[in-house]
Amino acid sequence: MRIRVLTLNVQHDAGDPRRTGLINAELRRLEPDLVALQEVSDHQLGQLVEGTGLAHTTHQSEVLVSRWSHGSVLATRWPHRVVDVAEHRGSAGSDVHWWTLAAAVDLPELGELLFIHPSTPWRLDHAAAREQQLIAAVEVDELHRFQLPSIIAGDLNATPKSAGVRYLVGLQALGGRSTHYNDAWAVAGEGLGFTWTVANPLAAEEIEQLIGQPRHRRRIDYIFVGSAHSHPEARARVMHAELVGDAPIDDVWLSDHFGVLADLEYELT
């Protein structure tokens, strides 16, 4: 069975008002089966998913609703049910806040799959919080996982060299723990796969403000798939991976992030 997975940070409704409609058109064109969207404004959600055939669940923290009014969306072509929402906050007086949304997705004829969508703190000096969250995301998987290999997807605000991402792909232990997932882009993508880069005019201004380096670029958006070791009765093979929104449509850039799209092949062994 082929499954198409997409993650995209939509940059809420900032800037050009045509962006939301163009993202919706891309969702309808690409026809993904599992979708993780970040920074979704509550009043743009309807337009984003209209006509896509996707059932969706949203999560908006009190902090984000009051300050930024956007959150995360987990959407699926088949029925899903939320099995966990893990929320975390930093120390007293800190604005560090993150959460992980996990849902069981009912795949026709194959059974349930766990789809995990972390939403991470973005600040460059919040690597420790991101590491804690990725440990927590794996704990959610270990608690709820099914026979089919789980998927973790989202904007992790961390590069492939970061401790958190290295932990997910089995290259580094964190807190005495280790695990292994397959990074879809590393398996089947072409090139370096930067998703937040000065090549994108919508990201260039933010990069100048936050980092101030004219050639900065990062791969921080991911799709991870559970390994054969943790799911001995099934396989999920990454057949294809590509960037979404890495070129303007009618002179409009979809977002300050490029999305990641992956085609997976699931089978029982």
* Beta strand ranges found along 63-148 (DSSP E): 70-76, 80-89, 97-107, 111-119
Closest CA to 146 of 64, 49, 81: 81
Pairing verdict, β 2-9 and 34-41: parallel
Residue pair 29/51 in contact (Cβ under 8 Å)? The answer is: no
For tokens 């082929």, the residue is 2
Domain residue limits at 32:
2-268
* Overall domain count for the chain: 1
Tokens of 95: 């604005």
CATH assignment at residue 28:
3.60.10.10
Spatial separation of the C-alpha atoms in residues 116 and 144, rounded to whole Å: 10
User: Residue 265's pLDDT is what?
Assistant: 97
Strand residues in the chain grouped as ranges (E): 2-9, 34-41, 55-59, 70-76, 80-89, 97-107, 111-119, 151-155, 181-183, 196-197, 217-218, 221-226, 234-244, 259-268
Cα gap 224→232, rounded to integer Å: 17
Nearest to 41 by CA among 15, 8, 19, 65: 65
Residue 4 burial (CB < 10 Å; 0-12/13-18/19+)? middle
Q: Residue 96's pLDDT is what?
A: 64
Task: Pull the structure tokens for residue 47.
Answer: 């337009």
In 185-233 the beta strands, taken as DSSP E runs, fall at 196-197, 217-218, 221-226
What is the Cα–Cα distance from 120 to 122, expressed in whole angstroms? 6
- Tell me how far apart the alpha carbons of residues 226 and 74 are, in angstroms, rounded to a whole number: 18
* pLDDT score at 63: 41
For the segment 35-83, what is each residue's pLDDT rounded down to a tens digit?
Answer: 999 999 888 989 999 999 999 888 764 443 334 446 889 999 999 999 9
pLDDT beneath 70: ranges in the chain:
60-70, 90-97
Parallel, antiparallel, or unpaired: how do β-strands 70-76 and 34-41 relate? antiparallel
Per-residue confidence (pLDDT) for residue 81, from 0 to 100: 94
Residue 53 CB: number of other CB atoms within 10 A?
12
Q: Which residues contact 149 (CB under 8 A, 6 or more apart)?
A: 113, 225, 226, 227, 228, 230, 231, 234, 235, 236, 266
